[in-house]
Amino acid sequence: MLGASRSFAMLVLCATLASAQQSGDPRAAALVSTSWLADHLRDPDLVLLHVGDTAEYRAEHLPGARYVSLQDIAVTDRSTPNGLTLELPPAADLHDRLAAPGIGDRSRIVVYYGKDWISPSTRVMFTLDYAGLGARSALLDGGMQRWKREGHPVTADVPAPQRGDLSTLHTRSLVVDADWVRAHSGKPHVAIVDARDTVFYKGIRTGGRPGAEHRTGHIAGAHSVYFATLFDSTNALKPSQELRALFSAAGVQPGDTVVTYCHIGQQASATLFAARVLGHPVLLYDGSFEDWSRRTELPVEKP
């Protein structure tokens, strides 16, 4: 009886996603509402991931949520001068990192952000999609702040560790490098999109960290869609019509493959998420401007 109940709960848990996928609505597949989550919060195969400040998580989080940081799902190489920040781990390593917070083969994963941690959350979402788990993953629209505003419960209770039973990952080809970007820049139906604040895109400010500053400007030929403009004042993703207008104004055409980058590949994941919601094929230049900037043979534009 227990096995039958568990199987039925899993079917119920995935019903909304399956319906969205069959209807061809990428927004409905990528996002869940607070009301949906409230109805499914106790489902046995739900894995709820909190992305935010650790002190915030210890103080309050959604019932049953497990904490995940970018360090949990990415690697940073400081061993060499050209080591990159926030890169995807090898598949075997990533498998173990994803299984650690309880993700398994039966899991339905919902990611949410505390306060305004939008781009770290979309980076987690991208990582799940890259790992082949995107069809079973969704972002809570509006995050914990919307959840609280609507009167849903929060808790300080931390669930006991529970490693997931996760099969070998079959990663997806969603990441490109500098050579790919250079070869495809300006090609029809490919839009290279800079997700950084426009002050970096325009060359008003220079990114990077002290002693490892980036070049000033942006990848030659790139469009500008600042990730923060895609979310409203409550940190919810803007309606698809508004998103489409923002991408169109930047020069992105319907059906274009959208290739995003930022400083290190975090903010780019938020712009990529919005493009995915609009139905664009999406790719991430994971090395982003940190990598491009170090390659002095690659062109940079400064308006």
- pLDDT tens across 7-50, in order? 433 433 443 444 444 447 999 999 999 999 999 999 999 999 99
Q: Nearest CA to 259 among 296, 217, 221, 214?
A: 221
d(CA 192, CA 182): 10
**Backbone φ and ψ of 15, nearest 5°:** -60, -45
For residue range 102-129, list pLDDT tens digits in order: 999 999 999 999 999 999 999 999 999 9
pLDDT in tens, 122-159: 999 999 999 999 999 999 999 999 999 999 999 999 99
Pairing of strands 218-219, 300-301: antiparallel
Q: Are 224 and 193 in contact (CB under 8 A)?
A: yes
∠ Cα 46 49 51 (to 5°): 165
Is residue 66 within 8 Å of residue 102, measured between CB atoms? Answer: yes
Please give the Cα distance from 218 to 300 (Å, whole number).
5
DSSP state of 77: -
Q: Give the pair of three-digit tokens for residue 299.
A: 């062109």
What the block records as the tokens of 72 is 């949990």
Length in residues, the chain: 303
How do residues 215-258 score in pLDDT, each as one tens digit?
A: 999 999 999 999 999 999 999 999 999 999 999 999 999 999 99
Distances in Å between the Cα of 67 and the Cα atoms of 51, 52, 151, 226, 292 are 6, 8, 22, 27, 32
Q: Tell me the angle at which helices 118-130 and 91-99 cross, rounded to the nearest 10 degrees.
A: 120
Strand, helix or coil at 107?
coil
Residue 246, H or E segment = helix 240-249
| Residue corresponding to tokens 């491009």 | 292
